[in-house]
Amino acid sequence: MYSDKLNLLPPYLFASLDELKRDKIKQGVDVINLGVGDPDLPTPPHIIDTLCKAARDPKNHKYPSYNGMPEFREAVARWYKNRFGVSLDMDKEVIALIGSKEGIAHLPLAFLNKDDLALVPDPAYTVYRIGVILAGGIPIPMPLLKENDFKPDLSKIDKKTRKYSKILFISYPNNPTSATVDESFYKEVVDFAMDNDLIVCSDNAYSEIYFDGYKPPSFLDVKNAKNVGVEFNSLSKTYNMTGWRIGYLVGNEDIVQGLGKVKTNVDSGVFNAVQIAATEALLGDQSCVEDNRKVYNERRDVLLKGLNNLGFDAMKPLATFYVWAKIPDGYDSLSFSKFLLDNAGIVVTPGVGFGEYGEGYIRFALTEKVERIEECINRISRLKNR
C-alpha cells in the first residue's frame, strides 16, 4: 500500500515515545518526561503580545510570501550580524521556514537524484536521514564516537563515498550528544567540502543555549563557508516557540534558492502574524534568552550531580539542554529506557533511536523543573537499592 520510500522509514522516534508515555499516564502513572526536547518554559510575553496584535490585523490573514516577509528576513540578517558577525543578503541568502525541521526534510529534494549519497552523522537528529531517503538518496552514516569528542572523522570517509556524495550534514551544538566544536572544526569541514564538491548543511538550532563561558560559533563565520554551505536555525529552542513553527535557512544563495523552489511547490509560507512575532523575538529584548540559560544551567547541574552520584557516566554539556549518558551494564539503550519507564515512570530517549552508534547511551532532556529532576534521581536511586 505504502510507497517503497515510506516503507524504508522507521517509526518516528518521538511519536513512539509519546504513545508509550500516554499509555503510562492512562494507567495512572506520574510520568516524568525527560524524553522529547520540547521546552516547558513559556514563550516570552512580549512575543505573544506582538502575535496577538498582528493576528487581529486583516492584512495578515492572506497568503504570506513564499520566501518570508522582508521584515522577518531583515531581522534574521541583523541577528546573524550581531550574534556571529556574519553578513547576509536578506533577499538572496535568507528564507523563512515552517520550523527548521521542515527545511531540513525538504532540502535534499532540491539537490539529490536517485541513489546519490549524503553524509549523515550518527547518532543524530533523525530528520537528516529521513529527508535523504524521501528524496531517493542513500544516507551514509558518519560515526560520532566518544574517542573523537563526538565529531565525525572526515579522514576515514573513503574516496568512492566522497565521489558520489552530494550533501554533508553537521549539527553543533549537537543533538543528541550535546557535544560542541570550535571554528577549527568548521574550517576542516569547509576544506573537505571544497575538495569533494559537497553541500554542507549545518544545523545550529541550539546556538543560544550555552554554559560555562562557552559561546557556540556559526559554521558561516569561517572563511569560504558560504561558498559551500548553509545553516539552519530556529526560534523554537531559543525563544521557547516550538509550537509556533518558524525557523530559517541562511547562507549560500544557490542552495537557499534551491530549497525555495521546493517550498513554492509544497507549502505556502509562514503565517505573517507569526513572522511579525518572530521579528520581535529576534530584535527585541533578549533578556529572556539569558533567563532560559540560567534555568537550564541549574537543571543541568542538578541532573549531573544526581547521575554521577548514582554511578552514571554522563557528559557535562557546554550547550544544548540535553545530557548524554552511558547506560548500565546488562542493558541495551532501548531495554534500559523501557525499564525506567515501566519501573520509575521516567521517559528518556534511547540512544539507538538516533542511529546505531547511539547504542549504549540514553538522552535526558532538561525540560522539567528542578523539583521533578530531583524526583527523577530519587526514583532511579530507589531502583538501584531494591
pLDDT, tens digit (0-9, with 9 covering 90-100), for 3-56: 888 888 877 666 776 777 788 888 888 999 999 889 999 999 999 999 999 999
pLDDT, tens digit (0-9, with 9 covering 90-100), for 319-375: 999 999 999 999 999 999 999 999 999 999 999 999 999 999 999 999 999 999 999
What is the spatial distance between Cα 218 and Cα 207, in angstroms, rounded to a whole number? 8
Determine what percent of the chain is predicted with pLDDT higher than 90: 90
Prior bond to 123 cis, omega within 30? yes
pLDDT at 91 over 90: yes
| Residue 179 confidence (pLDDT) | 98
Confidence of residue 386 (pLDDT cuts 50, 70, 90): low
Structural domains of the chain sorted by starting position, each given as residue range(s) with its CATH number in brackets: 4-42+287-384 (3.90.1150.10), 45-283 (3.40.640.10)
pLDDT, tens digit (0-9, with 9 covering 90-100), for 111-154: 999 999 999 999 999 999 999 999 999 999 999 999 999 999 99
CB atoms within 10 A of CB 266: 9
Q: Which stretch of DSSP H or E encloses residue 229?
A: strand 229-234
What is the spatial distance between Cα 95 and Cα 333, in angstroms, rounded to a whole number? 38
What is the spatial distance between Cα 254 and Cα 233, in angstroms, rounded to a whole number? 18
| Residue 36 confidence (pLDDT) | 84
Distances 4 to 1, 114, 120, 135, 139 between C-alpha atoms, Å = 9, 13, 21, 12, 16
**Count helices and strands in the chain by DSSP H and E runs:** 14, 12
| Residue 251 confidence (pLDDT) | 98
Confidence of residue 264 (pLDDT cuts 50, 70, 90): very high
The arithmetic mean of pLDDT across residues 371-383, rounded, is: 96
Q: Which three cell numbers stand for residue 273?
A: 502574524
| Residue 19 confidence (pLDDT) | 79
CB atoms within 10 A of CB 9: 14
Looking only at the bridges linking them, the beta strands covering 247-251 and 94-97 are antiparallel
Closest by CA position to 316, among listed 171, 151, 152, 179: 179
Q: Which three cell numbers stand for residue 14?
A: 518521538
**Residue burial 140-179, b: 16+ Cβ < 10 Å; e: rest:** bbbebeeeeebbbebeebeeeebeebbbbbbbbbbbbbbb
Q: For the chain, what is the largest distance between any 2 Cα atoms, rounded to a whole number of angstroms?
A: 63
pLDDT, tens digit (0-9, with 9 covering 90-100), for 213-239: 999 999 999 999 999 999 999 999 999
The arithmetic mean of pLDDT across residues 281-309, rounded, is: 98
Cα angle value 279/271/87 (rounded, 5°): 35
- pTM of the predicted model as reported, rounded to 2 decimal places: 0.95
| Mean model confidence pLDDT for the chain | 95
Cα angle value 283/202/259 (rounded, 5°): 80
Confidence of residue 99 (pLDDT cuts 50, 70, 90): very high
- DSSP tag of 146: G
